[in-house]
Amino acid sequence: MRKLHKYYKILELDKILDQLAEMTCCEEAAEMARNILPFNRLDKVKAELAKTDGAYVLSSRFGTPNFIRFKNPEADLMRLESGASLNNRELLNIAAIYRQCRILGEWKDHCEQVQTALDSYFSNLAENNYLESKITDIILSEEEIADHASPELANIRRKIRQNGLKARESLEKIIRGNAQKYLQESIITMRDGRYVVPVKAENRSEIPGLVHDTSSSGATLFVEPMSVVEANNEIRVLLNKEKEEIERILAELSAECAQYTESIQNNYRLILLLNLYFCKGNLAVKMKAVLPEVTDDGYTCLKKARHPLIDPQQVVPIDLELGKKFHSLIITGPNTGGKTVTLKTLGLLTLMTMCGFMIPVADESRISIFRRVLVDIGDEQSIEQSLSTFSAHMTNIINILRLADQNSLVLVDELGSGTDPVEGAALAVSIIESIAKKGARLVATTHYAELKAYALKTPGVENACCEFDVTTLRPTYRLLIGVPGRSNAFAISRRLGLEEDVIQRAESYISTDDRRFEDVVDQLEQTRQEFEQEREKYRATNAEVNRLKAELEQKNKTIDNRAEKELERAQAQARDLVERIRGQYNLLLNEIDELKKQKEKTDLKELAEKARSQMGSRINKLYNEANPVRERKQEEYQLPRPLKVGDEVLIYDLNKNGTVISLVDKKGMVGVQMGLMKTRVPESNLRLLESNTTKQKQSTVRKVRNNAQRKVSTELDLRGCNIEEGILLVDRFIDNCVLSNINQISIIHGKGTGLLRKGIQSHLKRHPSVKSFRLGTFGEGESGVTIVELK
């Protein structure tokens, strides 16, 4: 285990744990954070990650709960169990633990019952508001007990104040009287808890009393005059009583706390755990980390992984895959190109996951846990200082080969370096094969061309490289899997100004096979870069197309919504206008009927019929003019047969169904009834609704919300209205009730002179929607109410 801890330190897990410790609420929680070790069981890792994710979710939605600072009460609780008493500070620490439980409980109550893996921790917290309040009410600070802690303590302190006041009054007389000339200063002070005055040494005999102290120079004596000795003695006795009473109060409080030692210890442990998980959640927010998919099958696929210890403004995300198509990954490329950073990123993120941390990767990333993470990276390697060392540690490699198995992840930096290149390359190949036979997952970095060729021709081994921009002589830190890297020594030398003949002579020393291999790698790299450029262009074009498409769809949706609202608004206005005219029309007819009853003259009857005809024509014309619907473009359509009265038809430009009530006239107009409304429509604007034709046409009708669908009362109160107003209100009321499918209504007109009742009932006789009506019975309003049954 000690060796494994060494590997954890090489991967800098300790720095992550230090960051976590700095966020905790107390030293004990910080120590727990620093002592976290990776779990190698999948169920345990998933359980830890679920708790971290629970804290992350709760903090993101409701904020992090407040954690206060307190001490470990373990030693104090052991003393309580043995019957000892605690002091002010120790009791206040217990109160702080209970206060923390209350804070966490109240915070969780405001979390809208969001369920997480931390619920059991919250539910097991045991609050004790009584004990918390009693401790904080009695103990004001680490040095002070409240006067009201007990009646006896309050009485003792009152007597102490009274005797102190008496002593000061006596001393005030001395320092303001004739004895003032014998004093060094006219002040009252205390020595050993007793009131004294500073007397000049040469005047000691002038003020009789007890000397309690002398100044360093000997010129001043602190004398307790005999007149205050009794008061001081009483104060001293009272102070002893006060001490005894405080000890009794603390002993009583301690005895009460002793009954809850187990609860206090459990609360303390739960608080530390909750604090630790919420710190993990806050660290995930700081790192912009997510919860990856976790397995133990050895397959890791990290997307946009970032090393958490590198400045977020400078870190370059990498994509890395291992354990599915290949078990070993050989990373090549120039120095300071990011090879070692890649090793540490994979190793550290694996360990963080095993410790229950969320990791800085993109969504849909997958990571495997291992029983062992074995590392061979230079001791002086420091990610934060961007330094690299390439020392080979054969002793470490031997230990790795001894420990590695199918549940191991092996990370080796500069495999086989530090010796003769030929021997080093051969040794590196042999080590890779040995690790592969053990079933371990391997990621290694190297400069050897032999390892590039070995990875190309060996199943289960894959090349990768850290990209390098030759034009700027700077690495891009991007990891490219499936592409062998180049050292770029000649290219870099040319850019730096090395003479061409020197470079050419150096190139001639390279074997033909090696040159051919490097040329193939170079061509492959050029092709890859061209493909990357084309892919970026395609992505940009595709993103622009998607943006324009979404924008167009949004505009179309807005236009459709606006048209729908305008149509509904215009139709509502038209209906209101028609209803107003209908009311005036009915009012006029009623007036004519009244005249007809009074004088049965032929000319008046003709006048009424003529007025009725003219008014009906005017209403139809007004409705047509007020209709906001614009004529739609007519499609070629021919009626399958002549229309008949009673045929169901579709009024094309209105998208409304109606019934034919009169056949086509000379002007090509057909009488159609839509609900309660009658109108005349051009025959060319009608579509016959029969069998298949009906289904086809109805499928094109857009549904428009009926504004009449609203709550309607079944009673109408007309008391106080004249006949004209009453008839207008009755028409509107009946129309609304018919649209709302109400069968019976009550019209309250009152008894009075009976004129309003007669006018309303006369109008009801002619109303097309009224089936019958009667006066109310006993309990319904009798003759003051008309009960109407609608069709």
629-703: CATH architecture: Roll (2.30)
CA distances 575 to 41, 579, 583, 714, 790, Å, are 74, 6, 12, 22, 21
Structure tokens at 297: 């099958």
Beta strand pairing status for 220-225 and 209-214? antiparallel
Structure tokens at 207: 């003020």
Whether the Cβ atoms of residue 347 and residue 309 lie closer than 8 Å to each other: no
Q: Name the residue with higher pLDDT: 545 or 346.
A: 346
Q: Residues annotated in the binding site for ATP, as ranges? A: 333-340
Q: Name the residue with higher pLDDT: 213 or 629.
A: 213
Q: According to the model, what pLDDT value does residue 370 have?
A: 95
Q: According to the model, what pLDDT value does residue 37 have?
A: 94
Helix (H, G, I), strand (E, B) or coil at 299: coil
Assign 623 a pLDDT band (cuts: 50, 70, 90): low
Q: Residues annotated in the binding site, as ranges? A: 333-340
Alpha-carbon distance of 21 to 248, in angstroms, equals 40
Position 603 pLDDT exceeds 90: no
Nearest to 763, CA basis, from 610, 573, 534, 585: 585
Nearest to 357, CA basis, from 67, 36, 577, 121: 36
Position 768 pLDDT exceeds 80: yes
Whether the Cβ atoms of residue 68 and residue 275 lie closer than 8 Å to each other: no
Q: According to the model, what pLDDT value does residue 475 have?
A: 67
Strand pairing partners for 224?
A: 210
Please give the torsion angle defined by the CA atoms of residues 482, 484, 485 and 490, in that order, rounded to the nearest 10 degrees.
-150
pLDDT digits (tens, 9 = 90+) for 96-154: 999 999 999 999 999 888 899 999 999 999 999 999 999 999 999 999 999 999 999 99
Q: According to the model, what pLDDT value does residue 144 have?
A: 92
Q: What CATH fold (topology level) applies to the domain 9-128+260-287? A: MutS, DNA mismatch repair protein; Chain A, domain 3 (1.10.1420)
Nearest to 231, CA basis, from 179, 196, 183, 184: 196
Q: According to the model, what pLDDT value does residue 387 have?
A: 38
Alpha-carbon distance of 511 to 503, in angstroms, equals 15
Structure tokens at 537: 């262009």
Whether the Cβ atoms of residue 664 and residue 670 lie closer than 8 Å to each other: yes
Residues 6+ apart with CB under 8 A from 374: 7, 399, 400, 403, 404, 408, 409, 410, 411, 440
Alpha-carbon distance of 440 to 432, in angstroms, equals 10
Assign 389 a pLDDT band (cuts: 50, 70, 90): very low
Alpha-carbon distance of 483 to 456, in angstroms, equals 9
Nearest to 355, CA basis, from 53, 13, 60, 21: 13
Let me know if domain 293-499 sits in CATH 1.20.20.10: no
Alpha-carbon distance of 617 to 622, in angstroms, equals 9
Average per-residue pLDDT for the chain: 82
Q: What angle do CA 313, 299, 331 make, to 5 degrees?
A: 55
Structure tokens at 505: 């002579």
Assigned CATH for 149-253: 1.10.1420.10
Q: According to the model, what pLDDT value does residue 650 have?
A: 87
Position 245 pLDDT exceeds 80: yes
pLDDT digits (tens, 9 = 90+) for 445-460: 988 878 888 888 899 9
Q: According to the model, what pLDDT value does residue 32 have?
A: 94
CA distances 532 to 30, 527, 689, Å, are 47, 9, 61
Q: Is 175 left (phi over 0), alpha (psi -120 to 50) or beta?
A: alpha
Whether the Cβ atoms of residue 645 and residue 661 lie closer than 8 Å to each other: yes
Q: According to the model, what pLDDT value does residue 526 have?
A: 57
State what percent of residues in the chain have pLDDT above 90. 37
Amino acid at 238: L
Q: According to the model, what pLDDT value does residue 696 have?
A: 43
Alpha-carbon distance of 167 to 173, in angstroms, equals 10
Nearest to 650, CA basis, from 700, 614, 602: 700
Are domains 9-128+260-287 and 149-253 of this chain identical in fold?
A: yes
Alpha-carbon distance of 338 to 475, in angstroms, equals 8
- Element containing residue 570 per DSSP (H, E): helix 512-598
Mean pLDDT of 393-413: 90
Q: According to the model, what pLDDT value does residue 537 have?
A: 80
What does the longest C-alpha to C-alpha distance in the chain come to? 146
- Residue 659 burial class via C-beta count within 10 angstroms: exposed 0-12, middle 13-18, buried 19 and up: middle
Amino acid at 549: K
Alpha-carbon distance of 555 to 29, in angstroms, equals 56
Residue 379: Cβ within 10 Å count: 12
Q: According to the model, what pLDDT value does residue 699 have?
A: 41
- Element containing residue 236 per DSSP (H, E): helix 229-258
Residue keyed to tokens 């005249």: 595
237-251, 502-516, 647-661, 751-765: range with highest mean pLDDT? 237-251
Domain ranges of the chain: 9-128+260-287, 149-253, 293-499, 629-703, 715-790
Q: Name the residue with higher pLDDT: 54 or 536.
A: 54
Structure tokens at 479: 């990891």
Q: According to the model, what pLDDT value does residue 299 have?
A: 95
Whether the Cβ atoms of residue 592 and residue 604 lie closer than 8 Å to each other: yes
Residue keyed to tokens 């034709």: 693
Alpha-carbon distance of 23 to 33, in angstroms, equals 10
Q: Is 23 left (phi over 0), alpha (psi -120 to 50) or beta?
A: alpha
Alpha-carbon distance of 478 to 482, in angstroms, equals 13
Assigned CATH for 715-790: 3.30.1370.110
CA distances 257 to 10, 82, 252, 783, Å, are 47, 12, 9, 82
Structure tokens at 789: 């049954």
Q: What single-letter DSSP state applies at residue 145?
A: B
Residue keyed to tokens 């004529």: 631
Q: Name the residue with higher pLDDT: 602 or 339.
A: 339
Q: According to the model, what pLDDT value does residue 735 have?
A: 84
Long-range contacts formed by 611-619: CB under 8 A, 24+ apart: 615/585, 615/588, 615/589, 616/585, 618/581, 619/578, 619/581, 619/582, 619/585
